[in-house]
Amino acid sequence: MDLIVGQLFTGLSTGSILLLAALGLSLTFGQMGVINMAHGEFIMAGCYTAYVVQQAVGDAGVSLLIALPLGFAVGGAMGLVLETLLIRHLYHRPLDTLLVTFGVGLILQQVARDVFGAPAVNVTVPEFLRGGVDLLGTTVPKTRLFIMALAVVAVAAVTLVLRLTPAGRRIRAVVGNRDLAETAGISSRTVDAGTFFIGSGLAGVAGVALTLIGSTSPTTGQSYLVDAFLVVVAGGLGRIKGAVVAAVALGTLQAVFETYSTASLAKVGVFIVIVVFLQLRPQGLFTLRTRSLA
């Protein structure tokens, strides 16, 4: 029982980290078919935001509360710049966009290396998040619970924005049918920029959260990126629901594999499961149906 609860919890925890990293990707990938390889570096920017704020403020609790919205703003602003300067001009060339944004990611990593140095830095965890909570017979670190809560809040916020606000309706319209949305008077450029801001902002938030459970280095974001992409692929394009299910499933899978083998075999195992899964559902868990051939 303890083992199962423990694994389930580890799965949920890994899953919520994946979800935080993947949520923004799911938005941008889903809406524009754009693979933003610099998304990982936006996460990294969020991490360093948390670090800088803590250096400036001192108090760990206060700095976390400042860093979360600030991380969103930093990530979002970087995304906005990237979208306006580069991605916007590369529509209909998704693979080229992938490579271009990889180049941007390389540059951002080197900037971080030059500014903060290559060695990892650490952010102090606030007092109220230290230690653990006893839950169903296992001890659960509070930081992980916090991240899970943050993931839930982020998903809820994105869902609410998409469903209830006029901006969200425009985003969904563009996801559903870009051309039709344009003829209905929606400026897809503005919507794209907005989506990119939100998606990249979420990466910044994810980065801030990640400082609670690990140290930060210029390559921090990159290490999460591929897993995040797998979540998006398995979940289905542009579906928040799919991203949630896929993140939790992959997190749990990873946890289970790690229990019965090694961490290195677990990665291979997860990869194989995804390839097999795509045999059954090539378009991912949930799909939007359209009539276009592409």
- Sites of contact with another protein (CB under 8 A): 29, 33, 35, 86, 89-90, 93-96, 98-100, 102-107, 109-110, 113-114, 222, 226, 229-230, 233, 262-265, 267-268, 270-271, 274-276, 278-279, 282, 289, 291, 293
- Please report the DSSP string for 222-234 in residue order: HHHHHHHHHHHHH
Nearer to another protein, 98 or 167 (CB): 98
| Cβ 113 to another protein shortest distance, Å | 7
> 232-264 b/e with 16+ CB inside 10 Å = b?
bbbbbbbbbebbbbbbbbbbbbbbbbbeeeeee
| Cβ 58 to another protein shortest distance, Å | 31
Q: What angle do CA 190, 185, 79 make, to 5 degrees?
A: 10
Nearer to another protein, 10 or 36 (CB): 36
Nearer to another protein, 133 or 268 (CB): 268
| Cβ 226 to another protein shortest distance, Å | 5
Nearer to another protein, 59 or 114 (CB): 114
- Secondary structure of the chain: what % helix, strand, coil (to 5)? 75, 5, 20
Nearer to another protein, 138 or 200 (CB): 200
| Cβ 264 to another protein shortest distance, Å | 3
Nearer to another protein, 62 or 99 (CB): 99
| Cβ 110 to another protein shortest distance, Å | 4
- Burial of 150: CB neighbours in 10 Å, binned 0-12, 13-18, 19+: buried
Nearer to another protein, 59 or 96 (CB): 96
Cα(245)–Cα(251) distance, rounded to whole angstroms? 10
| Cβ 143 to another protein shortest distance, Å | 24
Token digits of residue 257: 């594999």
139 contact partners, CB below 8 Å, separation of at least 6 = 132, 133
| Cβ 12 to another protein shortest distance, Å | 22
C-beta atoms surrounding 89 within 10 Å? 11
Provide the 3-class DSSP secondary structure of residue 1.
coil
Provide the 3-class DSSP secondary structure of residue 165.
coil
145 contact partners, CB below 8 Å, separation of at least 6 = 133
